[in-house]
Structure 1
Amino acid sequence: MMPAKTSEFKAKHKDIMQDINAESFKHCYLVYGEEAYLRNQVRDELKKALLGSGDSMNMSRYEGKDINIAEVIDMAETMPFFAPRRVIVIEESGLFKSGCPELADYLKSPSETAYFLIVESSVDKRKDVFKAANSGGITIECDTPDIAELRMWAARRLKNNGFMTTESTVNFFFERVGTDMSNASNELEKIICYCQGRDTVMVEDVDAVCANWLSNQIFAMTDAIVEHNQKKAMDLYYDLLALREPPQKILALIFRQFNIMLQVKEMVDNHKDKGSIASAVHLAPFIVGKYINWSRSYTTANLKSCLELCVESDEAYKSGKLDDVISVEMIIVKCSAKPSQG
């Protein structure tokens, strides 16, 4: 069983596995939460069990926000074809956030042969449709496990494939790939393939195989800011927030980018060569070339203004005057705007 953030997931998952093993199912299973990897795992376990040896013709799948509920209910009322169950799969409908009285009413008294498997990233527990699913079935929340449980999961995954590892290696792995379980699972699979023929996974293996994915995303965002690509910068920022990157960490990296640009611009203005600049800011010469190009589209005053904005935003957040997410949004919008050349 996969790790989970709270004991509630473990208890609910245990209940689901008991239903599966006993082949005695509730008429509704609602799988929800932010961790797509866990949502998909529970969904696939239930889908396979509910269909059993039956044909997939007895499964109807509905996805997206334009679902016709009357059509869904009609299908639920249709007898299955040479099978004990008709399986209705609903994914990312938004109905469990916006509400759906028709589905709520139906879930209170569904057809004896209708079994609902509903998967949503976000729900509102106050809605009647959620309460109906919870009352007549099992609702299970899939959040990203905390880092300690993620480490246990990764170490267990490696051990099950014949590999020993150390705590420091596992720590380095998550620093490298982030805490998104889908991405981490893919990276673990790469490590397992890379280390075939050995029985230990080391830091060097992680370094050799795993792309520094989260850092790449962060730097792509800061690159977009200094290239004045506002839409790309904002899209990448929201992606990073979805991966639970702290806004203050992102702010620190934005500050770093503009600080380096200011240093580079001042050295260029003082006729320093690229090698000297690279040595002074501790970056490779080819990377310094990018900073030189970027700095040309800013005046020294522009760069100082961006740095002051970062400092003010940090102070406003720490004093409780400004939300951390919004404070970084404001910086991205202002710093990615085309600067005046006055």
Structure 2
Amino acid sequence: MQTLTQDMKNHSFKPVYLLYGEEAFLKNSYKNQMKAAVTAGDTMNFNQFEGKGIDVREIISLGDTMPFFAEKRLILVENSGFFKSASEEMASYLSQIPDTTCLIFVESEVDKRSKMFKKVKELGYAAEMERQDMAQLSRWAGTLLSREGKKITGHTMELFLNMTGDDMENIRMELEKLISYTLGREIITDEDVETICTVRTTNKIFDMVAAIVNRQTKKAMDLYEDLLTLKEPPMRILFLIARQFNQLLQVKELMGKGMDKGGISSKLKIPPFAAGKIMPQARTFSREQILSYVNLCVEAEEAVKTGRLNDRMAVELLLTQKY
């Protein structure tokens, strides 16, 4: 991402860029920054395309059109699918882009083996926007708070991030709530965080999984009702429970191989603080326990798909299972 910042600072742009990865907030932020830097607010020489089924020839025609009283024409293409399915015509054009045109792709799905990806790497720059680790998120959130004249301790920041998760857009929204809530005060406390911040669905799932395996049926059902109240669909809840058990199983096996938090985080592509939270839970349960619930999740999903159970009942039966 340093390359993007440097190119914007020097106002020296490559013919093609690709912004991709899990962190939607960063993709959107750099997309907007690049757009502002290349066009300087000029809408006459800016074109935007979004979604699958884009006419490649229209992009090529625009790319070959000289900008009107400007140095560059910017073409922004979002979620095109060009980096997942073959797009020979588009890939071939990347080698022929005029110096007066800049192409920026913003994609959710990218195959690094694709011809498009390799062409962008060869001719321009591909920036992967990954989930940030706790240290990076702490620094970023701390900077946003500092701009508003707020201070926060390391412990309170850790509590905050454990509640919000690692999604930067969610963190930003929760910070706005905290800043408004503490208007007139400089220090943000644990009590402020606990009072005003919304616990992410994934945090409730984590607690629900612990309740299921510890046979705390009432607690698990209460958490389930909370999620239903928040309009979470039962099948999404089932998916998240299954994902949590699968992560527990993977963490359990990697810990058995002597892997530490950093290694597990890298291997499973989850934030280090998330790995640090899962590891103690993985120690608590046997591999057989976890595997049993992984299988129960599969059975519950199958029961819904075959019509033997409705979605809500399937999740309720899973929560009340005794291993």
Q: CA deviation at 1:329?
A: 4.5
- Contact 1:31/1:118, CA 8 A, preserved across alignment: yes
Counterpart of 2:217? none
Letter in 2 for 1:110: I
- Identical residues among aligned pairs (%): 34
- Contact 1:20/1:49, CA 8 A, preserved across alignment: yes
Label 1:216 to 1:21 Cα distance change in 2 as closer, same or farther (>3 A).
closer
RMSD (Å), alpha carbons: 3.5
Match of residue 166, structure 2, among 150, 164, 179: 179
Counterpart of 2:43? 56
Q: Which moved more, 1:56-65 or 1:148-157?
A: 148-157
Inter-partner Cα distance in structure 1 for 2:28 and 2:10: 22
Q: Which moved more, 1:91-100 or 1:209-218?
A: 209-218
- Contact 1:64/1:92, CA 8 A, preserved across alignment: yes
Counterpart of 1:315? 291
Q: CA deviation at 1:85?
A: 1.1
Inter-partner Cα distance in structure 1 for 2:302 and 2:225: 14
Counterpart of 1:87? 74
Counterpart of 1:248? 245
Label 1:29 to 1:157 Cα distance change in 2 as closer, same or farther (>3 A).
same
The SS at the match of 1:88 is: strand
Q: CA deviation at 1:64?
A: 0.6
Q: Which moved more, 1:174-183 or 1:27-36?
A: 174-183
Counterpart of 1:232? 233
Label 1:22 to 1:194 Cα distance change in 2 as closer, same or farther (>3 A).
same
Q: CA deviation at 1:183?
A: 0.7
Counterpart of 1:116? 103
When the two structures are superposed, what TM-score results if normalisation uses the length of structure 1? 0.66
Letter in 2 for 1:160: R
Counterpart of 1:328? 297
Structure 2 residue ranges without an equivalent (≥5): 209-221, 250-286, 315-323
Counterpart of 1:169? 156
Larger Rg, first or second structure (1 or 2): 1
- Contact 2:164/2:198, CA 8 A, preserved across alignment: yes
Q: CA deviation at 1:170?
A: 1.1
Inter-partner Cα distance in structure 2 for 1:45 and 1:143: 18
The SS at the match of 1:153 is: helix
| CA shift digits 1:57-105 (9 cap, x unpaired) | 2111111111111111111111212211111100011111123111111
Counterpart of 1:203? 190
When the two structures are superposed, what TM-score results if normalisation uses the length of structure 2? 0.70
Q: CA deviation at 1:246?
A: 5.1
Instruction: Give the aligned length.
Output: 257
Label 1:31 to 1:94 Cα distance change in 2 as closer, same or farther (>3 A).
same
Inter-partner Cα distance in structure 2 for 1:167 and 1:157: 15
Counterpart of 1:137? 124
The SS at the match of 2:17 is: strand
